[in-house]
Amino acid sequence: MTDTTAYRVLARKYRPETFADLVGQEAMVRTLKNAFAADRIAQAFIMTGIRGTGKTTTARIIAKGMNCIGTDGTSGPTTEPCGACEHCTAIMEGRHVDVIEMDAASNTGVANIREIIDSVHYRAASARYKVYIIDEVHMLSTAAFNAFLKTLEEPPKYAIFILATTEKHKIIPTILSRCQIFDFNRIQIKHIAEHLKYIAGKEEVDYEEEALRLIATKADGALRDALSIFDLIVTYSAGKKVTYQETISNLNILDYDYYFKVVDALLEENISTTLLLFDEILKKGFDGHNFIVGLSEHLRDLLVVKDEATVELLQVSESAKERYLEQTARASVSFLLSALNLANHCDIHYKTSKNQRLHVELTLMKVAKLSQAFRLATLASVDSKKKA
């Protein structure tokens, strides 16, 4: 019988174990390494940023680095924990008695913080440092924050506090002033895609680069989300492969090919084709609001590739970039700006519209007639100059 319990989701299997494994946080890693090298480790940190960027993982790596004794049992604090000594192993497995993790989302009160304050008075049982990792710390009550202040201001030499949050603005200023703050960046699409390629290689999964870029885009800067999506698609695909078509199907994403077709029709001033394409999109089960938002993004991307200086802002594959360059060559900046303005207006008022389909269709018809309006405006300007 197959042991199904042995499977580990990719987000856990490939969780970073050292600073070198962290993706897209180079500045933060460099600062921490310098602090370790200079023996200037703060006793209170705040790790802040969107979900899935490595805040809690970094807290655990710091805990390992501070307590690692190496394979010879004599090493001091290090930026490259061995991962093999008793302390590294226990921290990785979440069972180290001196590394205490608390979820502030479910432990919000003064009583919960009192437990930490009382335990701080006792030295670490076996490690050099007692490390407290408090996740979602912004969920603590004001009273709990106030009770925590004195301990955070004058912690014992053997105690380190690492507070993780997605909403730094909710933490009271007196707590912020007592901590060294690290802002975790949204991870760039190219970095997420590269990491997915690495994992696909390790897992022996065939992939299409366009599919990985789509997953990276959908993850919106969160590497953990990207790994979860990748895991899902591999699970549901026929065989160990990740294709573009299976990805858009599983994620219920509208194929960007439709946006190229719609803009082609709009540039040709072909209202009938535009409306038929929109009807086809609706029949496939896609929402009109999502379509107009996607069209706005497509128009924005066409504007981006108009100038060589901003082409790098377009984070797509080389083959897709060629299509953008070809299409934008046939559209004027005036057309793209006006079309983007109309699409944005449609987006803003979509939910309040009584007839949402007509609301989108009217926008598409207006965009289809933009070129004609520009020509008429030019003719009127020429006529007025002649009369003058």
Give the pLDDT mean for 133-157: 89
Give the pLDDT mean for 305-331: 85
Give the pLDDT mean for 144-168: 90
Amino acid identity of residue 339, one-letter, is: A
Q: What are 111's two structure tokens?
A: 């009583």
Q: What are 329's two structure tokens?
A: 């060559």
Question: Does residue 62 contact residue 233 with C-beta atoms inside 8 Å?
Answer: no
Which residues are 133's β-sheet partners?
A: 101, 162
Mean pLDDT score across all residues of the chain: 88
Question: In the structure, what pLDDT confidence band is assigned to residue 125 with cuts at 50, 70 and 90?
Answer: confident
Q: Is the pLDDT of residue 1 over 50?
A: no
User: Which positions ≥6 away from 323 have C-beta within 8 Å?
Assistant: 260
Q: Is the pLDDT of residue 2 over 70?
A: no
The predicted structure's pLDDT at residue 352: 94
Give the pLDDT mean for 173-180: 90
Nearest Cα to 50, choosing from 217, 185, 140? Answer: 185
Question: In the structure, what pLDDT confidence band is assigned to residue 6 with cuts at 50, 70 and 90?
Answer: low
Give the pLDDT mean for 352-370: 95
Question: In the structure, what pLDDT confidence band is assigned to residue 5 with cuts at 50, 70 and 90?
Answer: low
Q: Which of 15-19, 113-117, 187-191, 268-272 has the highest mean pLDDT?
A: 268-272
Question: Does residue 165 contact residue 183 with C-beta atoms inside 8 Å?
Answer: no
Q: Helical H runs in 237-269? A: 244-250, 256-267
Question: In the structure, what pLDDT confidence band is assigned to residue 108 with cuts at 50, 70 and 90?
Answer: confident
The predicted structure's pLDDT at residue 36: 85
Where does 199-276 show beta strands of DSSP type E? 206-207, 241-242
Give the pLDDT mean for 187-196: 90
Q: Is this structure's pTM higher than 0.95?
A: no
Question: In the structure, what pLDDT confidence band is assigned to residue 124 with cuts at 50, 70 and 90?
Answer: confident
Q: Is the pLDDT of residue 131 over 90?
A: yes
